[in-house]
Structure 1
Amino acid sequence: MQPMVEAEDRIGRTLSFLMEAFAEVLTELGEERIAARLPWAGEWAGTADSPKEPDAEPPAPERMAQAASIAFQLLTMAEENAVAQTRRALEAEGALDLDAGSWDQHFARLVAFGRSEVEIAAALGRLRVEPVLTAHPTEAKRQTVLHHHRALYRVIVELENAMWSPTERAALRQQAKAAIERLWRTGEIFLRKPTVADERRNVMHYLSEVFPAALPWVDLRLEAAWRRAGFAAETLEGARPRLSFGDWVGGDRDGHPGVDAVVTRETLALFRGEALERVRAALSDLAAHLSLSAMRQPTPSALSDWIAERAEALGEAGAAALERNAEEPWRQAVNLMIAGLPAAQGPSAPGARTRATELAADLDLLRRSLCAVGAGRLAREDMDPALRGVDCFGFHLATLDVRQNSAFHDRALGQLLTVAGEPWGADYPGWDLARRNALMRRELASPRPFAAPGAPAGAEAEETVALMKVLRDHAATCGDEGLGAYIVSMTRSAADLFAVLLFAREAGMMRESADGPWMPLPIAPLLETIEDLQNGPAILEAFLDEPLVRRSLRRQADAAGLDAPVQQVMVGYSDSGKDGGIVASVWSLYRAQSAIAEAGARRGVRIRFFHGRGGTIGRGAGPTHRFLRALPPGAVAGDLRLTEQGETISQKYANRVTAAHQLELLMAGALGASLEARRDPPELVSAMDALSASARAAYGRLVEADGFLAFFDGATPIDAIEQNRIGSRPSRRSGRRSLSDLRAIPWVFAWNQARFGIPGWFGLGSALEALRSERPQAFAALRSAKAEGPDRWPPFHHLVSNAATAWAVSCPETMAAYAELVEDETVRRRILGAILAEHERTGEMIGEIYGAPVPVARPVVQQQVERRDRALAPLHERQIALLRRWRTERDAGGEPGATLTELLLTVNAIASGLGGTG
């Protein structure tokens, strides 16, 4: 059976089991009418094509919305399980090179490209991959619900095992029903808006439970694929990719009033405490395993010397460690490591290891001592997991990034200038670039602070300096390992980055060296709009040409053990898409990364791109392996950092199996992108330039049209989404009701709820049609590149594939139904007409690129869409009715009540059906 067919069959079997169990639960709870209306009832068993005929008295609509939401969640689990089981089957058949994005596929491709085993191993050893968890308001499911999902998914996986007896399988069925009943009895919407502390607990779950459990399986998958590729195990020794994690929760304050210096300090302390608890537990477990007796094997002199040295350095604590486990030197060594762990807060005891790299060196010595006495198996089984955990999580668990908006910094710097007596300092936000640059040249050469200690300066200035002092103090007591980058969102010029250096100077964070002061914290621009991406190379050149910056990058590289200076640059997929549409966003990001990487290379600086991707196609999402292959040549260079946002965290990392697979996709994809030599054909680049310009113009004509904002407000549930308690961050940066102030996340969320999906496809049809008419040879070249498959030119393949998916999920009939909510008939007809015309045009042009209509060319996506559409249709109908009623009640001055609660249930249910929010 073909993998695609087998996966579809497995989805059917699993979904039938889950829906039968759900129906039984509902019936047992007296909800027979809801059970009779569940979607997909008996569909794969051949007993029905749709839910049973409803009776005369339908159940309460809000109960049906909750049932539909749970049904979609069960469908998602069935699909996730089918993917995981298909991978297992491919591995059993020795065909994992067919698994898109896997280690096996990348090793086979690299060998085909002429890369040697030694080259691949060397690149692996240099590889750094860092997913960064964020908490944007896109997670529409409560944490309690996610916990129940994890429990149910474990049962689904257990049921795949053929060894269970009938009694045992019946018990597992009861466990599944219990998990489903918990979902049914648990409220689907947040009872209150989650706080930063709530979101931090969610992130902590993944960092302290999911990722540590997945880590051994990540290594096993790499080792197994290495063997299957015919490579020698010895070559892989010492060539493991570096995997670590980052976090924004508690550090990201861009437009977030709930994140201040106190929250950041608490987050750093919480992460460090958890990391040290994990290290202590891992070492205790290691000590229990390493019961080797000195009477059964000689103690290597290197180990004996180390034990004596560490015991002396630790004083009384070292002596106490040696008193335990006499004649068991390996255990004594681990006892000394435990005694030498640093304090979670404040000064550590004399002799304590202050950096995780020091502990890693100790563990490595212990590993080599095991190998020296022939205990290589114990070195692999016992030592490697401990080493991997310390290398991955250190004493900090995850690096905490700080992000703030350049406009906030403008106000803060203006306040500091005023305190310093600068004429017109308060007007700094309105200064032109030349005047800003002159100020920066003067101030970067001066050591003086702006304000006297304790002098009041203004809210923004005081908060910014207080944050810098928190980072300074943490680095002084705990080291730099837990500090990520200081990211300046909406970076418009190098002056926006230089301002951070002035804030650091103000807080006493700068460090002295023989050749002058330097900044220990990396400063990263966030280039978000199309204009900022286009200006990105010039911004980076101006920044890197500053002597203080070059000196700081050299010192940072030395501290991190890197062989060259590294400058981090964050590129935003969300706001660039909202700003210019999907085509212009994709291509502007591509062009900017190429040019920025070249600018860095000219100055001897490697650029570490940080990809700010969201959870939907309109915000940069899509299959991980396609995304990585489509990056510009030289953009990865062995280093990948990217965000995992909102609901994508639970979708990708909810359990060990899916987490291990997603991490494999990231690491294997980063390896492939680093080693696969690719040149961009000039004729295709030129065609994409034209395509991008045309698509942006078409998108601009839509969003700049008279009445467009009124259409958006009326035809989408944006106002309900802004009432949804799905994240601690406000939906708008400043509260103004304008398109520019609306964050990209609710922008995408609202269009997707109403099945317009504009951020994922709009403009491509017009652009392709114009290219075909005006430059037929360029159009033919792009069509040929797509027909030859992703190897020919991945950037265009990635764009068209993503747009085709977004187009397929959109629905003209549903768009028209939502558009009826727009009160101005003239605006409704004009804007809807433009959208529907572009939708039809885009479908035709994508079909021409594929050589067949989209549903025919992409049957798997079409199956997924049709499966969901049957269950989504009544939810859309109900949401439209509720929006009309709620808006009438609201406009009449009524208080939000039952109507809003039911409306939010439909928002969650539709989000579950579509597999995402923003």
Structure 2
Amino acid sequence: MPASNTARLTSRLTDDAALPKVDQDLRHLMDAFAEVLRDIGESPVAERLPWPRTDTALVATDPDGANTWPEDPHDPLATRCVEARSIAFQILQQAEENALAQTRRQVESGGALEADSGSWEQVLVRLAADGWTPEEIAKALGDIRVEPVLTAHPTEAKRASVLHHHRAVYRLLVDNENQMWTPGERAALRDETKAALERLWRTGEILLEKPTVEGELGIILYFLGTMFPQVLPWLERRLRTAWTRVGFDPKLLDDPTRRPRVSFGTWVGGDRDGHPFVTPEVTAWALEQLSAMALENLRHRLEALAAGLSLTVSRQPAPPALMARIQALTEDLGAPGDAARSRNPGEPWRQLVNLMIAALPPAAGPVPEGHYRRVETLMADVDLLGDTLVAVGARRLAMRDVARVRTLVRSFGFHLAVLDIRQNSAFHDRALAQLLVAAGIDGGADFPTWDEARRVAFLSAELASPRPFVHDGERVGTEAASVLGCLRVVAERVRARGTDGLGALIVSMTRGLSDLLVITLLAREAGLLHVEPGASAACRLPVVPLFETIEDLDHGAGILEAFLSHPVTRASLERQRADSGAADLVQQVMVGYSDSGKDGGLMASQWGLHRAQAAMAEVGRRHGVRIRFFHGRGGTISRGSGPTHRFVRAQPFGAIAGDLRLTEQGETISQKYANIPTASHNLELLEAGALNATLRDRRGPPSDHGLGPVMDRLAEVSRLRYRELLEADGFMTFYAQATPIDVIESSRIGSRPARRSGRRTLEDLRAIPWVFAWSQARFLVSGWFGVGTALETLRADDPDAFERLAETKRAVKWPPLHYLISNAATAWASADADIMRRYAALVDEAEIRDRLLGLILEEYERTRTSLEAIYQGPLSKTRPRVARALDLRAPALEPLHRQQIALLRDWRALRAAGKDHQAETRLPSLLQTVNAIAAGLGATG
């Protein structure tokens, strides 16, 4: 299965206890769904549900063979069966998710400490075994920072209301775990479950209109503002429980600074790369919405805290520090302060909380005098509350009540999540050219074509001058107006509230130093540069390169070297350190998994990313700058996904250094974070993995495995083979006809266009629809193509090196290799040669069809042979977890592929005949198959 979801769910499904639990929950939900369908007159659909009641084990027999599934793809019954199957796959996912959650509960209740791979318990046990003391580990916890960045890439095929209904079904499944229910109460739960399933059925999954950026932000706000505040207390409890279970002194965690920090970011409203609907007004609105929800949550939490802190001076004296702060805050706030203090006389702790509520800033606009401008001031007051409670002996209240507020403030501040601003380097070039023309600079219109040396010289000279090219109100070109409009929104936010809540200025497709200096110069135009006499200009926000293609990753270390050597960069890093209060200089670098995978295939992408990060981390060490890598991972193996704990372990030496930032995109957000136990576990994997990597790196680089040159050879051979496919005559014709890419481009699952500029070329097509289309047709070429040729060539040319590599993989001696080969094997197993042939039959020209299908199937077989040589046996036997999950889904997916192919053939014929209206009426049925197959595979793009 091509999704991170599969790797995650199958990683522990071999437990004898977990598999029957999946079967039990699946039966419970599927029986309820079948009853609903029969009750509302849909018995023919109920009879065609997968995993029929006669099953006694996790084996998918399917009644929907050629004789029972309607032959006519336009038969309304066939359409309804597709919709039901989509829901059934979601039910299966929920059954698996709950089984894993309940298995983890059993482990926590007394199972083996290392049973849950990547968990706190496993990491703590192994660190202790390798010589770290509990004191050293506790001290390091405060150095760990994890920041998931939620993006709305067009990979979430489900409507927001459908996501809500799925969450309701899961909650009822969890409620059903309670063994204390009476028969009547259990019957009521079943009725609630059936009602939730009926809502799902009656709602429908197809997005009737493309979502807006505002709608996408609404979904993100649910996770950021509702789910994660509930999850964080669970996360802290898991750490404390694991700490105690492994035998460490719990008092070592009493210091509230000894906690990993979880914060969040988002791109919704700030990602402008190829997205014409993210206007300056949308960016301003997004910042306001994020702040409004953060402040609303803080207000509610502080109100609850005030209700609980009813301690009176008649029972305990108020510490002088508490009274002094009450007096100072009252004076700062004026009349509102007097009103807040006058409430609850004789209850000073409650009075201080009342004043803290009164001092919260507004969500937008200038901050009134006396109100909190920086979240650090609020945090100091929270700490004062805790310290003074401890001083009067109320430690329990400090640890329980105040600590929860502290966690909320530390993770969300006044902004909920930092908003990154991203744009393409070519767009920036056009914007600057328009500004140069407006300023009357000779040759400015040709700026995008200047060579690198000329660009850098010009940009460096301009950055030494404070003069603007244009003044507010002057008319400039479209690109210049767009960039400056956005940056001026950001600059106004900085002037009003500082840099809190603002992320980085990310430059997509960074090809050289000049790309980073261009955005810095554009920031000058908007007022984002801080200039002091006699000093270099300093940008208030981080300027971040995004290296995406294989070539760009290869050049990344050289570009970073030049950037860190530039005086404006050093001044900017110093200024950003002063703004944030950080202890060291930090340069963020984003690495893209999607475009590198699309560009060079899995093996070249993964190894290129590894080599690039190692080289850039070394550049940072030479400059005394910590490199903060930002991992742009997608939801499929082709786009960087894979088991979270293995991903973290696979990072090169020095690449984490206490700080892990990564994207969570599209459907992976709901898969990982829609339910509290699952969300807590996924964040735990990030925190525990970051701690493990950070401590181990502090002891120096690991011993040399000697496989670097071998991996270089494998990556190059794999890339050449992959490019041979992409550059083959007729490839785009094959891809366009053998996959449903045209349907995906007509879908309504994301606000952003599928192509960067609208040109119908491979280069212009985004990586997400590229992978999505291959997944739907079960080719998944970017997840495995080229791997077989590379391994086979190595085995033939250097058998000793191949055996050394295979033994290293089998013994899990080198995590990057283990992660790469495991992911390739999972992607290969998720492909299906028979289904590939069926989709390839859609290609009109026989010569193109036969030649390219033959090339793909030849590599498919070569990859199987090579992987089985490493695993020493058939993958279905040596990797039973993945095989079991795939075998469960395969028969249920088969009629969906058959239905999609028939509909595709008909839809394309109508379009070719110019019958666009008729074709449009058929599109919803096609989109239903896309949704259902995506649900079965657990991923889109």
Map 1:609-758; keep pairs closer than 5 Å: 609-677=629-697, 678-679=701-702, 681-758=704-781
Amino acid across the alignment from 2:27 = S
- Residue 513 of structure 1 and its aligned partner are, at CA, apart by 3.7
Bigger drift between 720-729 and 424-433 goes to 424-433
1:283 to 302, 306, 310: 302
Structure 1 segment 396-411 matched on structure 2, within 5 A:
396-411=415-430
Mapped contact 1:397–1:482 kept (Cα < 8 A) = yes
Residue 213 (str. 1) matches residue 230 (str. 2) = yes
1:301 & 1:607 partners in 2: Cα distance?
44
The whole-number CA distance in structure 2 between the counterparts of 1:84 and 1:394 is: 30
Q: How has the CA–CA distance of structure 1 residues 452 and 898 changed in structure 2, closer, same or farther, with 3 Å as cutoff?
A: closer
Report the counterpart of residue 868 of structure 2 in structure 1.
847
Aligned mate of 2:183, from 142, 150, 166? 166
**Residue 8 of structure 2: aligned partner:** none
Provide the identity percentage. Answer: 56
CA drift at 1:222: 0.9
Whole-Å separation in 2 of the counterparts to 1:55 and 1:891 = 31
Q: Separation in 2 of the partners of 1:319 and 1:210? A: 35
Give a deviation string over 1:323-342, Cα, whole Å, max 9, x none: 11011111011011111111
Aligned to 1:130: 147
Offset, 1:781:
1.2
2:839 is aligned to 818
Could you tell me how far apart the structure 1 residues matched to 2:36 and 2:279 are?
46
CA distance in 1, matches of 2:54, 2:514: 61
- The question of whether the paired residues in 1 share the 8 Å contact of 2:460 and 2:517 is answered with no
Q: Partner of 2:249 in structure 1? A: 232
Q: Which residue of 2 aligns with 1:838?
A: 859
Secondary structure of the structure 2 residue equivalent to 1:488: strand
1:719 alignment partner, SS class: helix
Distance 1:48 1:377 in 2: 52
Deviation, structure 1 residue 778: 1.5
CA distance, structure 2, for counterparts of residue 785 and residue 899 of structure 1: 52
Match of 1:779 in 2: 802
Residue of structure 2 equivalent to 1:560: 580
Contact 1:16 1:43 in 2 (8 A): no
Cα distance in 2 between the residues matched to 1:786 and 1:112: 23
Contact 1:43 1:49 in 2 (8 A): no
Deviation at residue 897 of structure 1 after TM alignment = 3.0
| Structure-2 separation of matches of 1:52 and 1:819 | 23
How far residue 860 of structure 1 moved from its aligned partner, in angstroms, is 1.1
Q: Cα distance, 1:359 vs. partner?
A: 0.3
Cα separation, 2, equivalents of 1:890 and 1:8: 47
Bigger Cα displacement from structure 2, 114-123 vs 184-193? 114-123
| Secondary structure class of the residue paired with 1:460 | helix
**Alpha carbons of structure 1 residues 118 and 55: separation in structure 2 relative to 1, 3 Å:** closer
Report what 1:89 is aligned to.
Answer: 106
3-state SS, counterpart of residue 538 of structure 2: coil
Question: 1:414–1:425: 8 Å Cα contact kept in structure 2?
Answer: yes
- Does the residue aligned with 2:529 lie in a helix, a strand or coil? coil
Assess, with a 3 A threshold, how the Cα gap between structure 1 residues 766 and 794 changes in structure 2: closer, same or farther. Answer: same
- 1:15 corresponds to which letter in structure 2? L
What secondary structure sits across from 1:97 in the alignment?
coil
Q: Does 1:438 align with 2:457?
A: yes
Q: Distance in 2 between matches of 1:384 and 1:796?
A: 41
Q: Does the aligned pair in 2 maintain the 1:16–1:44 contact within 8 Å?
A: no
Residues 520-541 of structure 1: per-residue CA shift (max 9 Å, x gap): 1111000000000000001111
Which deviates further from its counterpart, 46-55 or 288-297? 46-55
Provide the aligned C-alpha RMSD in A. Answer: 1.5
Paired with 1:109 and 1:63, the residues of 2 have a C-alpha distance of 51
Match of 1:472 in 2: 491
| CA contact 1:469–1:508 (8 Å) conserved in 2 | yes
Kept after mapping to 1: 8 A contact 2:113/2:246 = no
TM-superposition CA deviations, 1:26-45 (whole Å, max 9, x none): 11111111111110011444
1:4 matched to 2:15: yes
More displaced, 706-715 or 897-906? 897-906
Contact 2:98 2:174 in 1 (8 A): yes
Alignment partner, residue 344 of structure 2: 325
Change (3 A) 1:57 1:781: closer
Q: Please give the TM-score of this superposition, normalised by the length of structure 2.
A: 0.96
Q: Is the 8 A contact 1:287 1:331 kept in 2?
A: yes
- The aligned residue for residue 261 of structure 1 is 280
1:597-648 Cα offsets, whole Å, 9 max, x none, are 0001101110000000000000000100000000001000000100000000
Deviation at 1:294, TM superposition (A): 0.7
1:348 to partner: Cα distance: 2.7
Alignment-derived partner of residue 888 in structure 2:
867
Which residue type is aligned with residue 538 of structure 2? W
Which string of whole-angstrom CA distances, capped at 9 and with x for unpartnered residues, describes residues 541-564 of structure 1? 111111111011011112212111
Question: Does residue 155 of structure 1 match 2:172?
Answer: yes
Give the 3 Å change call, closer, same or farther, for CA 680–742 of structure 1 in structure 2. farther
Q: 1:378 to 1:56 in 2, by over 3 A?
A: closer
Matched, 1:390 2:409: yes
Aligned to 1:519: 539
Query: Does the alignment pair 1:27 with 2:38?
Result: yes
Q: For 1:307, which of 326, 341, 355 is the aligned residue?
A: 326
1:218 CA displacement:
0.7
**Matching residue's letter, 2:555:** N
Matched residue, 2:939? 916
* 1:866-914 Cα shifts (integer Å, max 9, x gaps): 1100100011011111100000001111123332111110010000000
Letter in structure 2 aligned against 1:652? K
**C-alpha separation between the residues in 1 aligned to 2:494 and 2:54?**
59
TM (norm. structure 1) is 0.98
Of stretches 330-339 and 610-619 in structure 1, the one that deviates more from structure 2 is 330-339
User: Which amino acid in 1 is paired with 2:173?
Assistant: I
When structure 1 is superposed on structure 2, of 426-435 and 600-609 the one drifting more is: 426-435
Which of 27, 30, 53 lines up with 1:16 in the alignment?
27
Matched, 1:203 2:220: yes
Contact 1:36 1:52 (C-alpha < 8 Å) held by counterparts: no
Q: Which of these residues, 775, 782, 788, is aligned with residue 765 of structure 1?
A: 788
Q: Partners in 1 of 2:789 and 2:769 — Cα distance?
A: 26
Q: CA deviation at 1:130?
A: 0.4
Which whole-Å CA distance do the structure 2 matches of 1:594 and 1:44 have between them?
Answer: 50
Partner SS, residue 506 of structure 2? strand
> Are the structure 2 counterparts of residues 420 and 570 from structure 1 closer, same or farther at C-alpha, using a change threshold of 3 Å?
same
Deviation of 1:680 (Å): 5.7
Contact between 2:152 and 2:665, CA under 8 Å: does it hold in 1? yes
Distance across 2 between alignment mates of 1:400 and 1:249:
8
Residue 57 of structure 1 and its aligned partner are, at CA, apart by 7.3
AA aligned opposite 1:448: R
CA distance in 2, matches of 1:136, 1:344: 27
2:606 aligned with 1:595? no
1:517 positional shift = 2.8
Residue 338 in 1 paired to residue 357 in 2?
yes
2:58 paired with 1:51: no
Instruction: Mark the CA change 1:184 to 1:706 in structure 2 (over 3 Å): closer, same or farther.
Output: same
Q: Which amino acid aligns with 1:251?
A: G
Once the two structures are superposed, the pairs formed by residues 476-487 of structure 1 within 5 Å of their partners are 476-487=495-506
Counterpart-to-counterpart distance in 1, 2:906 and 2:14: 47
Residue 828, structure 1, aligned to residue 849, structure 2: yes
CA distance in 1, matches of 2:421, 2:21: 44
Residue in 2 aligned with 1:503? 522
Determine the C-alpha separation between the residues in 2 that align with 1:809 and 1:787.
21
Instruction: Confirm or deny: 8 A CA contact 1:522 1:568 kept in the other structure.
Output: yes
**Structure 1 residues not aligned, in runs of 5+:** none
Distance in structure 2 (CA, Å) of the matches to 1:463 and 1:878? 44
Quote the Cα distance in structure 2 between the aligned partners of 1:388 and 1:288: 18
Structure 1 residue 682: Cα displacement: 5.0
